[in-house]
Chains A and B, each alone.
Chain A
Amino acid sequence: AQTVTQSQPEMSVQEAETVTLSCTYDTSESNYYLFWYKQPPSRQMILVIRQEAYKQQNATENRFSVNFQKAAKSFSLKISDSQLGDTAMYFCAFKLGGSQGNLIFGKGTKLSVKP
């Protein structure tokens, strides 16, 4: 069975600074995908960034980037130039590849961006 662990229940960062959210996962599979989702108070899960396990290059989406360490089964999210609108819950999620499999989520990290 696959598991996802987020060890930081809460984090805070000053506006314009950089913050890194941690995520580790456990799987014996080699074909899978990893995601970071953002859930603001509006409750809707919004995809921030995704990483295919077979790709060695770390994914980047504007101010968001990941540090994917496959051997260590680590998948951290770096947010640069933090903005007030980044305040939200952030969930790390895992999905097996090759199917429309379900997402397995961590417990989340509550990020607060302070002015």
Chain B
Amino acid sequence: DAGVTQSPTHLIKTRGQQVTLRCSPKSGHDTVSWYQQALGQGPQFIFQYYEEEERQRGNFPDRFSGHQFPNYSSELNVNALLLGDSALYLCASSFIKAMNTEAFFGQGTRLTVV
């Protein structure tokens, strides 16, 4: 059983560019959450997707957007990249009806903006 998989593992982009990160949830999971982890910090919640809709959102600008596909996989898009967007982006999946179970995390995508 594959866990949560994220791609790519590393990415270097230039300021002003746009980037798309991808996440495949653990088998049987239907909810995907995205987190941004700056160097030396704990992860910060960006947003959560369920049934192809954004259900919750953290304190992130509209430059951060996402999508969930019918197979439950998800994308995180960031437009007009800033140097401050450099971080580890983590995807976590869970099963909506099992509300009290843990979320499983992927290994993250390391984004560097230069």
Q: Is the CB of A102 within 8 A of B45?
A: yes
A91 to B40, CA, bound (A): 11
Interface check B72, CB cutoff 8 A: no
Complex CA–CA separation, A107 to B108 (angstroms) = 17
Question: Is there contact, CB below 8 Å, between A104 and B106?
Answer: no
Name B residues whose Cβ lies closer than 8 Å to a Cβ of A.
31, 33, 35, 40-45, 48, 50, 55-56, 58, 88, 90, 92, 94, 96, 99-100, 102-103, 105-108, 110
- Is the beta-carbon distance between A101 and B102 smaller than 8 angstroms? no
Chain A residues packing against B (C-beta within 8 Å) = 4, 6, 33, 35, 37, 42-47, 50, 52, 91, 93, 97-108
Residues of B within 8 A of A97 (CB): 99-100
> Is the CB–CB distance between B105 and A45 below 8 Å?
yes
> Which residues of chain B have C-beta atoms less than 8 A from A47's C-beta?
102
What residues of B have a CB within 8 angstroms of the CB of A108 in the complex? 40-42
Q: Give A65 to B43 CA distance when docked, in angstroms.
A: 23
Given A100-B48, A103-B45, verify A44-B56 contact (CB < 8 Å): no
Whether the pair B43, A103 counts as a contact (CB closer than 8 A) is yes
Q: Provide the residues of chain B in CB contact with A43, threshold 8 Å.
A: 88, 90, 107-108, 110
Question: Does A101 lie within 8 Å of B56, measured CB to CB?
Answer: yes
13 extra interface residue pairs, beta carbon distance < 8 Å, beyond A44-B106, A100-B55, A108-B42: A43-B90, A43-B110, A44-B105, A46-B105, A52-B100, A100-B31, A102-B48, A103-B43, A103-B45, A103-B92, A103-B103, A105-B42, A107-B42
